[in-house]
Structure 1
Amino acid sequence: MMLPATNRRAENHTSEEINREIARQTQQRIAYYTTKSPQEISERIRELDYEWDIERALESNASALAFSGIVLAATVNKKWLILPGLVTGFLFQHALQGWCPPLPILRRLGFRTAAEINEERYALKALRGDFERIISRDGVYGDHHAAFAAAQQ
């Protein structure tokens, strides 16, 4: 059995309509920043550092539900243990296949993958001019330190 690539598995299990809408919104945000100052672009990049990706949303959702099930089992009825059992099973399925029941809901709510967030981040860095510093005027690439520094900003 071949496991899907980690970087695109959530997108692969999301409807094309939702993927297109997420991409459209990202492109609109990038277009908005084409007329903004480097400081405003930097602020947006800082905001992206705090945006929750789909993996973080799924993990927090699963852990909250599993913990709730354990508390309910301890205080109300042992039958509540089925909840953490189901949730951890779905989380394991997501780890292997890239799909679980909350995925379509969270994607529809606009949660993006880390790759989608990084696409916006690097487009904004290009607008800000970060990558111009690693290419000399004659088109020859600069050193690896400059490239690494541009990618980290």
Structure 2
Amino acid sequence: MESWNQTSSDTVRAHTPLVVNRRIDEHVERCVRYMAEQGDRAEMTRYLARLEREWDIHRAVAVGASAVGLLGLLLGRRAGGRWRALTAVAGGMLFQHSLSGFSPLSELLRALGVRTRREIDLEKFAIKALRGDFERIPMEGGPMARANAALVAAQSS
């Protein structure tokens, strides 16, 4: 399953080191393979609910930068004006991320494993395909063949 997520034109993936993208893709592959091996529809449904609640990189950056900005304002009010520079830095990172799709904060979050919405959706579609929500996934073949077919179907969605 080497090339299933290579066609993404996501700017976050494009700015993320290859080793981090591979680690995230391998996590998705392991989860999809596990679900294919188990074949438990109820477990798949519970896992899909968890994926629905997962924060994507853009949400994490927005919340993180906002929290740092508020912290800068609060510390600036208590400990002096120089802490307000933290607010400016947070605003700058949020501005950069909004324009380019990437910032130093998103680089840190990616290294911690925070995924793009597209990456999360690919995993969701693959699990849904395994669960039988789509007709394209053959039921014959082993779990690895079904996992590969699910990842390919998710990529083309």
Structure 2: gaps (5+ residues): 1-8, 137-157
Partner of 1:11: 13
SS at match of 1:131: coil
Q: State which of 72, 75, 81 in structure 2 corresponds to 1:72.
A: 75
Q: Is the 8 A contact 2:93 2:105 kept in 1?
A: no
Q: Deviations over 1:23-62 (max 9, x none)?
A: 0110110000012311111111001011111111111110
SS at match of 2:134: helix
Q: State which of 109, 116, 121 in structure 2 corresponds to 1:118.
A: 121
1:129 aligns with 2:132: yes
Measured in 1, the distance between the counterparts of 2:135 and 2:39 equals: 18
Measured in 2, the distance between the counterparts of 1:10 and 1:100 equals: 9
Structure 1: gaps (5+ residues): 1-6, 134-153
Q: Deviations over 1:37-89 (max 9, x none)?
A: 11111111001011111111111110110000001111110121111111101
Q: State which of 15, 22, 33 in structure 2 corresponds to 1:31.
A: 33
Q: State which of 19, 22, 26 in structure 2 corresponds to 1:20.
A: 22
Structure 1 segments (4+ residues) deviating >6 Å: none
TM-score normalised by structure 1 residue count? 0.79
Measured in 2, the distance between the counterparts of 1:115 and 1:126 equals: 16
The alignment's C-alpha RMSD in Å is 1.4
Deviates more, 1:31-40 or 1:121-130: 31-40
Partner of 1:144: none
Partner of 1:139: none
* Amino acid of the structure 2 residue aligned with 1:48: L
* Amino acid of the structure 2 residue aligned with 1:47: R
Partner of 2:54: 51
